Amino acid sequence: MIYRLINSLPRRWRFKAQRLWMHTRNLRDSFWRQSPALLFQAAFVVPLVGLLLLLILVRLAPLLAALLLAYGLFLLLLSGCRAVALWIGR
């Protein structure tokens, strides 16, 4: 069914769809080869680590935003100093 759909696509999309399908099958096969214990462990560890990382990033968001703003102001000041230096050097 999927092969018929892929082969009915225009040529420029067909090759991309074939590569995507090939990588999808390889990924599925690599998961299928894992032991049930490893899959069971990943079912709990991956969401737990994701939620923990999300919680940490939410807590650090104000600090990260302030650092990003400070970096932007630093670059703005640096570009202003460079413009003045180039204007004086003429």
37-46, pLDDT tens digit by residue?
888 888 899 9
Unique residue bearing structure tokens 């214990």: 37
Instruction: Name the pLDDT band for 89 (thresholds 50, 70, 90).
Output: confident
The SS3 call for residue 8 is: coil
Report CA torsion sign: 33, 36, 37, 43: positive
- For residue 3, the Cα-to-chain-centroid distance in whole angstroms is 29
Domains of the chain, by residue range, sit at: 2-65
Q: Do residues 49 and 41 lie in contact, with contact meaning Cβ atoms separated by under 8 Å?
A: no
Predicted TM-score (pTM) of the model is 0.48
What dihedral do alpha carbons 62, 50, 30, 17 form, nearest 10°? -50
Predicted pLDDT at 1: 78
